[in-house]
Amino acid sequence: MEIIVLRYGHRDVRDYRVTTHCALVSRALGANKIIICGEKDESVTKTVDDVTARWGGPFKVEWCDAWKPEVKRLKKKGFVIVHLTMYGLSVEEVTAKGSKLSKSKKVCAIIGSQKVERAVYEAADYNVGVAQQPHSEIAALAVFLDRIQQGKGLSKKFKGADRRIIPQERGKKVIGLKKSKAKKKK
Amino acid sequence: MEIIVLRYGHRDVRDYRVTTHCALVSRALGANKIIICGEKDESVTKTVDDVTARWGGPFKVEWCDAWKPEVKRLKKKGFVIVHLTMYGLSVEEVTAKGSKLSKSKKVCAIIGSQKVERAVYEAADYNVGVAQQPHSEIAALAVFLDRIQQGKGLSKKFKGADRRIIPQERGKKVIGLKKSKAKKKK
């Protein structure tokens, strides 16, 4: 499954940290790209690109001024548009194994930052709620990505990484890749 | 399952938004309480309490100066301590249906803000990683809460709410609940 995340309404400075979390979650949990709509902030791109350079990809950060042409373009390419909103249908149902959405080859997940205009609800093929309670677009995105990939998004293989974590009961173990010396931390 | 989230190392102003997300995710996805360690900020408490008053509970925000006595106290009360860190064992295994952790009655999930000291890794009964990649403590918490409750955290019933969302394919539908009922259950 090819997944693109579209971040709606990013505001410079104010949203730096939350948008960066959104981008890192997109990358870590199996998306190939995040398109951020709003006031361009190269520091978000730099932070995420640095992570991708060290921990692997592929993952891209792109920016756009307006969401509508992006969604139109993605629809033309065959992407199913999923808008994550607490008012939507429950993620459990919509992403259940065997559901139409779970069988999609290409999915674009839209997450809001500032209040999302009504046209987004209309443009989406699915409006999907994670818990139908107010919480966090970062959390909604994470649960959606985990579920839509039937849990496989958590064990994605990354390419071009120069390091990898070896899971530990206690402490930290990171091995170096490519480089001759393995870097071990405890 | 009774779940408490412990937020490590909250910094005033800087962490306001991310800690608020952590608290709202805790509430929405089935935890009963968040204990925030660090510089006290009543505006976090107020934001979350306002959500709980409108959307239901029970959910509490508490503050503490030091995590160690809290963890000690929780352990004495029978809580299993889970530290969410990208260096830990994979969440898929640790929370799998039938696993020892999934059968626990009381779980405390620790999430970091600033860098977590080594003693936390030592104090935890489990160090658990969500995707073994750098991303977001909000996302890690969300996936952990979803998985440890075998998906049931997303459909928690809240008491004392004055409103509830009716999931929609498009648009928003929120119904008001009787205030008398809300007060009674508060």
pLDDT at A17 over 70: yes
How far are the Cα atoms of A186, B84, B129 from residue B94, in angstroms, in the given order? 22, 12, 9
pLDDT in tens, B104-134: 999 999 999 889 999 999 999 999 999 999 9
pLDDT band, very low/low/confident/very high, at A185 (cuts 50, 70, 90) = low
Distance from CA of A52 to the nearest CA of B (A): 10
> Cβ–Cβ of A156/B27 closer than 8 Å?
no
Predicted confidence at residue B183, as pLDDT, reads: 47
Q: How far is A65 from chain B (nearest CA, A)?
A: 24
Give pLDDT, residue B184: 44
CATH code that applies to domain A2-155: 3.40.1280.10
Residues of A in contact with B165 (CB under 8 A): 86-87, 129, 132-133
CB atoms B24 and A90 under 8 Å:
no
Domain B2-158: which topology?
A: Alpha/beta knot (3.40.1280)
Q: Do A139 and B139 touch (CB under 8 A)?
A: yes
User: Which ipTM score applies to this complex?
Assistant: 0.95
Q: SS3 for chain B, per residue?
A: CEEEEEEEEECCCCCHHHHHHHHHHHHHCCCCEEEEEECCCHHHHHHHHHHHHHHCECCEEEEECCHHHHHHHHHHCCCEEEEEEEEEEEHHHHCCCCCCHHHCCEEEEEECCCCCCHHHHHHCCEEEECCCCCCCHHHHHHHHHHHHCCCHHHHCCCECCCEEECCCCCCCCEEECCHHHHHHHC
CB contact under 8 A, A170 and B127: yes
State the pTM of this model: 0.95
Domain ranges of chain A: 2-155, 160-186
